[in-house]
Amino acid sequence: MLRGEFQGETRMHDFYYDRKGDLCCEKVPLKKILKKTGTPTYIYSSRTISEHLAKIQKAFRSVRPLICYSVKANSNLAVLKTLVKNGAGLDIVSGGELFRARKVQCPGRKIVYAGVGKTDEEIREAIRARILLFNVESLPELERIHQIAKAMRKQVNVSLRVNPNVDPHTHAYITTGRAETKFGIDFDRARSIYLESKKLTHATLCGLHVHIGSQIETGEPFVEAFRKILEFVDDLELAGIKIKFLNLGGGLGVIYSDENPQTADEFAKKILPLFKKRKYQIIFEPGRFIVANAGVLAAKVLYVKETAVKKFLITDAGMNDLIRPAFYNAYHGIWPIRKQEHVARWVYDVVGPICESGDFFAKDRELPEMRSGDFLTVMTSGAYGFTMSSNYNSRRRACEVLVKGASFRVVRQRETYQDLVRGEKI
Ligand code: LLP
């Protein structure tokens, strides 16, 4: 598998590859899709999505985990449906994500609900949907959920999200398992909440949740965190608290450039021995691992602008479509959709049309020469791409396409100008 830039290899990136100079997704040349949809467009490979889910299912089959795909990574209904059809549950963080989960008929017993700031209305909706577990992040939240469940005369299951104070060695913005972050509850506080919880008449604290961060490339931080939580769970059990669900979160890293992240099998080999002879229902919440490499953002080069110090490729996609480079200084490969033999290579900044200097996809990147009207893709954009997009600069959000074998479908239409002003009044 080639990482990073387009260099002409035949097989490049899961189901993205070069066929006689044309970049294809599964069996469809991207230029064929773009002819129909225009740009900017997100393109997803259905097969990559289901195979990545299967990789985790297989690697952990001995413990029969519930894989709750993390909806925030890519919440397109067709993507969710692909996963739910293949047995996944969903990890949600808002009423909106619950709405999507219901739209794709994900059974409530396969939905887990995390997040530090659930509103009363969201809690009510989740109780009505009979979700499997609330992943609770503070005592006031637990009290609120209990109060609401009691008023509704319903019983809810709860996992406390613990904060194990482990450094996942990833970007600060996506580190969640360290003590100074807003996530989870420290062990001492969690312990007293579990002990006190026996008094709760409408909430059962039967689970424990941990998620230490995202884009984690090695097993060590996970092992460190899981060792700590197992010790903690043992201690709880001695105190008479029964834990049924262990939700181990998401966080598996993927290849954007020259990373060498663990595979699902390697991850399982490191993790499974910790859980031997333990009878918990294990839950995972992968997001990026499943969808990142399944998606690209396709854009058109509008202009090639030269200044005294730079060459810019100005594209019709911008940071409103994909904010990861601007927000995390994240690396994404850039590949032309049509590869030409024997062209010069230049060092470009690939930028969008938005009025901010942070509006870039790549800086000082060596690429084959490109001209106005050429198409390129920003690779590995299937996770936290469209879901983090916005209407900044009153730009319409991109359309999304799902490819399956030799066919493709627009699974979200490009927004219209009317969409932009919906609900506004003068
Ligand atoms: N579970 C919880 C509780 C989470 O907060 C997250 C991600 C996941 C699971 C899924 O994590 P994953 O397997 O995708 O690493 N926007 C950032 C990533 C933010 C991750 C937020 N939480 C980015 O573009 O890198």
Write out pLDDT tens, residues 3-29.
Answer: 333 343 334 566 999 899 999 999 999
Q: To which H or E segment does residue 264 belong?
A: helix 264-271
Would you state the pLDDT for residue 12? 53
Centre of ligand 1 from the C-alpha of residue 19, in Å: 33
Q: Is the CB of 209 under 6 A from ligand 1?
A: no
Would you state the pLDDT for residue 267? 96
Average pLDDT over residues 414-420: 98
Which of 82-91, 271-280, 314-323 shows the lowest mean pLDDT across its residues?
A: 271-280
DSSP 69-109: EEGGG---HHHHHHHHHTT-EEEE-SHHHHHHHHHTT--GG
Higher pLDDT, 311 or 276: 311
Reported as a single tens digit per residue, the pLDDT across 214-236 is 999 999 999 999 999 999 999 99
Q: Is the CB of 217 under 6 A from ligand 1?
A: no
Does residue 155 have a pLDDT over 90?
yes
Would you state the pLDDT for residue 3? 37
Reported as a single tens digit per residue, the pLDDT across 258-273 is 899 999 999 999 999 9
Does residue 186 have a pLDDT over 90?
yes
Q: Using an 8 Å Cβ cutoff, are 327 and 416 in contact?
A: no
Would you state the pLDDT for residue 417? 98
d(CA 326, CA 331): 10
Centre of ligand 1 from the C-alpha of residue 7, in Å: 30
- Give the residue whose CA is nearest to atom 8 of ligand 1: 250
Would you state the pLDDT for residue 2? 36
Average pLDDT over residues 380-391: 98
Length of the chain: 426
Q: Residue 59 carries which side chain, given as an amino acid letter?
A: A
In this prediction, residue 171 has a pLDDT band, given cuts at 50, 70 and 90, of confident
Q: To which H or E segment does residue 290 belong?
A: helix 288-291
Does residue 106 have a pLDDT over 80?
yes
Average pLDDT over residues 328-353: 94
Q: Is the CB of 385 under 6 A from ligand 1?
A: no
Would you state the pLDDT for residue 354? 98
Would you state the pLDDT for residue 341? 81
Q: Is the CB of 250 under 6 A from ligand 1?
A: yes
The position carrying tokens 């060695």 is 169
In this prediction, residue 246 has a pLDDT band, given cuts at 50, 70 and 90, of very high
Does residue 124 have a pLDDT over 80?
yes
Q: Of residues 25, 68, 106, 355, which has the active-site annotation?
A: 355
DSSP-assigned beta bridge partners for residue 209: 161, 247
Mutation probe of ligand 1 site: the residue of 67, 212, 288 with most atoms within 8 A of C-beta: 288
Centre of ligand 1 from the C-alpha of residue 262, in Å: 17
Would you state the pLDDT for residue 322? 98
Q: Is the CB of 163 under 6 A from ligand 1?
A: no
Domain range list for the chain: 2-45+292-421, 114-286
Burial class from Cβ neighbours inside 10 Å (0-12, 13-18, 19+) for residue 86 reads: middle
Would you state the pLDDT for residue 50? 96
Average pLDDT, the chain: 94
Q: Is the CB of 261 under 6 A from ligand 1?
A: no
Q: Provide the CATH topology of domain 2-45+292-421.
A: Lyase, Ornithine Decarboxylase; Chain A, domain 1 (2.40.37)
What share of the chain has pLDDT > 70, as a percent? 97
Reported as a single tens digit per residue, the pLDDT across 300-339 is 999 999 999 999 999 999 999 999 999 999 999 999 999 8
Q: Provide the CATH topology of domain 114-286.
A: TIM Barrel (3.20.20)
In this prediction, residue 181 has a pLDDT band, given cuts at 50, 70 and 90, of confident
Atom of ligand 1 lying closest to residue 176 CA? 5
Q: Is the CB of 324 under 6 A from ligand 1?
A: yes
d(CA 114, CA 248): 12
Q: Is 355 a catalytic residue?
A: yes
